[in-house]
Amino acid sequence: MNKEKESAVNFFGKWAETGKDEGMEEHHSDSVKFMLDQILNQASAKFNFIDAGCGNGWVVRKVKLHPLCEHASGIDGASQMINKAKSLDPAGSYFHNDLISWDPDSKYDFVHSMEVFYYFKDPSVLLKKIHKDWLSEKGKLVFGIDHYLENKSSLDWPEKCGVFMNTLPISKWHDLISEAGFKNIRNWQVGKKKDWLGTLVFYAEK
């Protein structure tokens, strides 16, 4: 009998408690640099930014250094991660909340997310929420995931970690983004190696 899978919020909350979150920046830095380049290289005026599933806030802290960044925030469902982010960046803007039910006070020009979307049973709900309530009129979304159907070496992760993961092919992700109302959708596979098909990165515009 399959045992009940742990929620991703609880799973990563424990990471923050044990210091395992510190490896996130090291493991994801190349993919995240590529993702941020897709949006920040377009910036020609002051912008605001949010990282969905921000963990300990390392991406937020990085974006705050950009000369055109007016405001950068992070949101995460794990209270331990938000506490860690606030301890590392006491002046920073971090929200402990559920991504699907949260309504921002103001809209964002750029929404970024790394290794988050496939933990949702129905990612289309989050995509529609971001499109409708998070993004400004000409806002842009960029997100990356390592667990997807074509990336065979990631397919045993749900069993290994005991956490629910939505295992979808690249084409299905594209359809979900399009159905949420996004346009100019592009995708890449970043950091391919022998048995690793890379981080699947999607860029889309409102």
Residue-wise pLDDT tens digits, 126-159: 999 999 999 999 999 999 999 999 999 999 999 9
CATH superfamily, with its number, for domain 8-17+31-205: Vaccinia Virus protein VP39 (3.40.50.150)
Q: How many CB atoms sit inside 10 A of residue 204's CB? A: 25
Q: Is 19 helix (H, G, I), strand (E, B) or coil?
A: coil
Q: Using one digit for the tens of pLDDT, what is the confidence trace for 170-188? A: 999 999 999 999 999 999 9
Q: Average pLDDT for residues 103-129, to the nearest whole number? A: 96
3 has pLDDT over 60 = no
* In the chain, where the domains are located: 8-17+31-205
What does the alpha-carbon distance between residue 70 and residue 177 come to, in Å, rounded to a whole number? 27
- The H-or-E segment that residue 84 falls in is helix 79-88
- Report CA Rg, the chain: 16
pTM (predicted TM-score):
0.90
Q: How many CA atoms lie within 13 A of 192 on its CB side?
A: 9
Q: Which residues of 171-188 are buried (b: 16+ CB within 10 A; e: fewer)?
A: eebbebbeebebeeeebb
